[in-house]
């Protein structure tokens, strides 16, 4: 499984540059996956899913929406890529109604506790915020937006279960870290937020771990300064 993940990541890094191009400006914030056979819940492999509770708008600066750009942005707001070797959860897939069908997450990113190199190793043991990224770029709904399934986990001794209210808490934590001005790797970002209702249903129907959600999706628009 690890080999498959690494391969698809390598492919992704190349494909993103070739297809989108860093300067190609998108025209819409996002398309509602439900309008074209998709879902705002991931497939966790057990008939249930996690809510896609944060969207990074397709109207963000194009570089933010690339593979490398999204990871740099994640670092700027307090996350980094997973600690290799301590990955506990399986990959999930999402259907964003863009004609690509069910596609695995591009990457899973974890809270780094203030140290982008070893921080995620601490997080894997201690719990914390994490998210999976899915890209809405199929030809039937090519917004370029990033759909994030964000959650807050209990520590490894609890088997990395999502804590009660963990989806709403994870979303609100991420948004609070992202808002305003942030920077990493010489790139400075300005982020604004808007809440959207009607994409997700409130409640726990279909939600992994039977955790209830408030149904809010937060739309972030990220502009590189």
Name the site residues for ligand NAG (rule: CB under 6 A): 1, 4, 8, 12, 15-16, 19-20, 67, 90-91, 104, 106, 135, 137, 172, 193-195, 216, 218
User: Of 109, 98, 82, 104, whose CA–CA distance to 178 is shortest?
Assistant: 109
Kindly list the distances between the CA atom of residue 179 and the CA atoms of 138, 157, 176, 182, 203, in Å, as whole numbers in the listed order. 28, 32, 6, 8, 27
> Do 219 and 55 touch, CB atoms closer than 8 A?
yes
Pick between residue 126 and residue 192 the one whose CB is nearest to ligand NAG.
192
Pick between residue 4 and residue 118 the one whose CB is nearest to ligand NAG.
4
CB of 201 to ligand NAG, least distance (A): 15
CB of 103 to ligand NAG, least distance (A): 7
User: Of 72, 81, 76, 48, whose CA–CA distance to 162 is shortest?
Assistant: 48
User: Of 85, 81, 84, whose CA–CA distance to 71 is shortest?
Assistant: 81
Q: Which residue, chain included where needed, has tokens 């209830």?
A: 212
> Do 27 and 60 touch, CB atoms closer than 8 A?
no
CA–centroid distance for 144 within its chain = 13
Pick between residue 112 and residue 172 the one whose CB is nearest to ligand NAG.
172
Query: Where on the phi/psi map is residue 171: left (φ > 0), alpha (ψ -120 to 50), or beta?
Result: alpha
CB of 135 to ligand NAG, least distance (A): 4
CB of 182 to ligand NAG, least distance (A): 16
CB of 10 to ligand NAG, least distance (A): 11
Pick between residue 3 and residue 159 the one whose CB is nearest to ligand NAG.
3
Pick between residue 63 and residue 155 the one whose CB is nearest to ligand NAG.
63
DSSP at 164: T
Distance in angstroms (rounded) separating the CA atoms of residues 18 and 62: 13
CB of 205 to ligand NAG, least distance (A): 19
């Amino acid at each position: 499984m690890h080999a498959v993940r690494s391969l698809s990541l390598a492919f992704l890094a190349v494909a993103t540059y070739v297809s989108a191009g860093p300067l190609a400006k998108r025209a819409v914030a996002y398309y509602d996956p439900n309008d074209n056979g998709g879902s705002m819940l991931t497939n966790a492999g057990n008939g249930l899913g996690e809510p896609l509770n944060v969207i990074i708008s397709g109207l963000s600066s194009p570089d933010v929406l690339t593979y490398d750009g999204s990871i740099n942005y994640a670092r700027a707001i307090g996350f980094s890529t997973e600690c290799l070797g301590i990955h506990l959860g399986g990959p999930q897939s999402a259907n964003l109604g863009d004609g690509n069908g069910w596609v695995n997450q591009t990457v899973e990113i974890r809270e780094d506790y203030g140290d982008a190199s070893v921080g995620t190793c601490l997080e894997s043991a201690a719990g914390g915020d994490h998210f999976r990224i899915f890209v809405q770029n199929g030809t039937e709904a090519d917004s370029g937006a990033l759909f994030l399934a964000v959650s807050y986990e209990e520590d490894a001794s609890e088997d990395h279960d999502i804590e009660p209210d963990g989806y709403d808490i994870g979303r609100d934590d991420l948004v609070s870290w992202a808002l305003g001005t942030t920077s990493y790797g010489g790139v400075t970002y300005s982020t604004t937020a808007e809440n959207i209702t009607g994409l997700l249903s409130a409640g726990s129907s279909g939600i992994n771990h039977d955790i209830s959600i408030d149904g809010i999706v937060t739309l972030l628009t990220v502009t590189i300064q």
